[in-house]
Amino acid sequence: MAEQKQNRPKARLPRGFRDRGPAEIAAERAMLDTIRRVYESYGFEPLETPAFEYTDALGKFLPDVDRPNAGVFSLKDDDEQWLSLRYDLTAPLARYVAENFQHLAKPFRRYQTGSVWRNEKPGPGRFREFTQFDADTVGSASPAADAELLMMLADTLEALKLKRGEYIVKLNNRKLLDGLLEAIGLTPSGLLTAMNRGVVLRAIDKLDRLGPQGVFQLLTTGRTDDSGDFTKGAELSTAEADNVMRFLGYSMNVTRGYVEDSFQGVGKGPDRLERIAERVSFGPTGIQGTKELRDIIQIVRSCGYEEDRIAVDQTVVRGLDYYTGPVFEAQLTFPVTNEKGDTVVFGSVAGGGRYDNLVARFMGQPSPATGVSIGVSRLQHALSLRGISSGALTPLVFVTTMDDPAESFKIANELRREGIRTEVYAGNKKLQDQLKYADRRGAVFAIIQGSIERDMGQVTIKGLEFGKEISNVLKSREEWLANQSGRQINVDRDMMLNEIKRLLSNWSWGP
C-alpha cells in the first residue's frame, strides 16, 4: 500500500500582513525611542491598553446581524460578547478615561504606542497591521492643548532628522466646515440633509485628486469620470457651491474656470485664515472655529513656530465623523523613489485633532479631548526611502568556539558587561565554517582563541567584513591564518576588551 501523502500546512502570510527583519525592527525601535523622548519632555506619561476591546466600546464600528466586519477584526467571546482588535489607540483611551475618571488628574495626559489593525483591502504600502504612536490630553477645552500638540509634533519630526521645508503641519478646524455648511443651509438634522452634508464633505476631501473643477461638479449637478461612471452631486446652487470653492481658496475665472487664489500656499500673501474669514460666508459655528484657530496660531507663533512649520490649510478634512474642532496633519513635502522606481510624495504621516464627544459616549457628560497620532510604519518607510536612518543594531562581535567552550563564554560575558553585542558560536563546526556563519550573521569582528593562542596568553581579532570571500575557499586553519595579514591582529588576553572597544569606535578595517 502506497504511503498516504502527508498533509502539511502551506507556509504563507495572510494578505495585508508582513514579517519584519532585524534592520527594520532596529530602525523602528530607534524611532520609537526618539518619539518617546520628545513626548516625555512635554510631560506626557505612558499608558498601555489591550489589543482587544469590546466592539461597542470602539464606537466607530458596531456589530451587524452576523458579525462586525466593517473595518475591524472581530470575534465572539465565550460569553457571547463581540470583541474587536483595536483599529486605533484613541477609542481604547476613551474607554480607559471613562472607566477611571474619578481617579485621574485632569487634564489627563498620556502617550501610547502599539499595533493597530484594520480589516480593509490591502494594497501597495497599505497593511492591515501597523504601528502608531499617540499622545492625548483629556479634560482641557483650551486651545493651548491643541497648540501644544502641534508644536510637539513639529519637534518630533525634527528630532527624527527631518529638516524644515521637508515637512509641514497643516491646521484646520472642523467648525469651519460645519459653519460653511450652516451658511448653505445644511445643518445636521434630517436624513436628506445629512446625506447632502456627506456629499459636500466628501467632495472637499477629493480636491487633491479631482482638482477644483471636479469638486465644483460634485457640489452641484454631479460628475462623470473618465470611465463614464456618473457620481451624483450635492445639488447646491451655483452661489452656494461658489462659497465652498472660495473656502477652498479658488475663484471663478471666466475663461479658465476655478483658479487658485493668490493667498494659497505657505508664506504667500496675507495670513490665510484672515483672508478666508474675509471671503467666505460662515454660520455661527464657523465664526467660533476661526476664533479658535486664531488663538492656536497666536500661541505657536509666539513660540517661534512660523508658517514653514505650522500653517493653516482649510483643505485638511480628517475623520469627519470623529473630530469636533481643530484638526491637523503632518505631511512630508519631499519626493522619494519607491521600490518600483516611481517618484512619489508620501503626504500625511501623522494627524490628529479635537474629539470632545468620544469620552462622553461612556459618561453622558462633556469631556473635552485632543490628540495626535504618528503613523510610525509609514513614516519609517518614507524616511528609509529618503536615506534617513532612525537607527540600527549595534555592531556584533562573534566569539568562535574552539577546544574550550567555557572560555569562549567567559570572553563573551566580559564584552557583554561593557554593553557590546556578542554572540558565541554554539556548535562544533570547523573554524572556517564558523567564520562563514559569522559573515552571514553580519558580525564585524571575530575573536579566536584556540590552544595556541591560549598558551601564548593571547586572542586573535579578525575583521570579518573583509574575510568573507577568502574564508569560503580556504581548507585549513593554518592556511586561513597565513592569508590574514592586515586583516587580523593578535593581542594579549588582558588587553582584548580595550582593543575591541578601540576597534568598534572606528570600525573600518580594510585590506
What is the fold of 144-347?
Answer: BirA Bifunctional Protein; domain 2 (3.30.930)
Q: By C-alpha distance, which of 257, 275, 356, 354 is closest to 313?
A: 275
- 177 vs 292, more confident: 292
Spatial separation of the C-alpha atoms in residues 390 and 381, rounded to whole Å: 11
Model pTM? 0.81
Q: Which amino acid is at 304?
A: G
Spatial separation of the C-alpha atoms in residues 348 and 342, rounded to whole Å: 18
- 473 vs 8, more confident: 8
Least confident of 62-71, 146-155, 179-188: 62-71
Going along 139-217, which residue ranges are E strands?
167-173
482 in Cβ contact with 397 (< 8 Å): no
Spatial separation of the C-alpha atoms in residues 339 and 141, rounded to whole Å: 44
Same fold yes or no, 19-46+85-141+356-393 and 144-347:
yes
Task: Return the pLDDT at 399.
Answer: 96
Spatial separation of the C-alpha atoms in residues 472 and 388, rounded to whole Å: 34
pLDDT above 80 for 194: no
Residue range 23-63, pLDDT digits in tens: 889 889 999 999 999 999 999 999 999 999 998 888 654 44
Find the helix or strand (DSSP H, E) in which 372 lies.
strand 369-375
Mean pLDDT, all residues of the chain: 85
Task: Return the pLDDT at 70.
Answer: 66
pLDDT above 60 for 484: no
pLDDT above 90 for 188: no
What is the fold of 396-505?
Answer: Rossmann fold (3.40.50)
Instruction: Give one word for 125, left, alpha or beta, with left for phi > 0 and alpha for psi -120 to 50.
Output: left
Spatial separation of the C-alpha atoms in residues 193 and 38, rounded to whole Å: 44
3-state secondary structure of 266: coil
Task: Return the pLDDT at 57.
Answer: 86
Q: By C-alpha distance, which of 298, 295, 297 is closest to 313?
A: 297
Looking at domain 19-46+85-141+356-393, its CATH superfamily turns out to be Bira Bifunctional Protein; Domain 2 (3.30.930.10)
Residues linked to residue 113 through DSSP beta bridges, in sequence order: 133
Task: Return the pLDDT at 79.
Answer: 92
Domain boundary assignment for the chain: 19-46+85-141+356-393, 144-347, 396-505
Spatial separation of the C-alpha atoms in residues 23 and 384, rounded to whole Å: 11
Spatial separation of the C-alpha atoms in residues 160 and 37, rounded to whole Å: 11
Task: Return the pLDDT at 143.
Answer: 96
Task: Return the pLDDT at 262.
Answer: 65
Residues linked to residue 130 through DSSP beta bridges, in sequence order: 116
- 70 vs 134, more confident: 134
DSSP per residue, 80-144: S-EEEE-SSSHHHHHHHHHHTGGGS-SSEEEEEEEEEE-BS--BTTB-SEEEEEEEEEES---HH
Residue range 137-178, pLDDT digits in tens: 999 999 999 999 999 999 999 999 999 999 999 999 999 988
Q: Which amino acid is at 71?
A: G
Residue range 78-104, pLDDT digits in tens: 999 999 999 999 999 999 999 999 999
Identify the band that residue 273 occupies on the pLDDT scale cut at 50, 70 and 90.
confident
Task: Return the pLDDT at 65.
Answer: 42
pLDDT above 70 for 16: yes
Q: What angle do CA 415, 419, 422 make, to 5 degrees?
A: 50
Residue range 213-269, pLDDT digits in tens: 999 999 999 999 888 899 999 888 999 999 999 998 898 887 778 888 765 554 444
Identify the band that residue 122 occupies on the pLDDT scale cut at 50, 70 and 90.
confident
Task: Return the pLDDT at 279.
Answer: 86
* Proportion of the chain above pLDDT 70, given as a percent: 86
Task: Return the pLDDT at 64.
Answer: 44
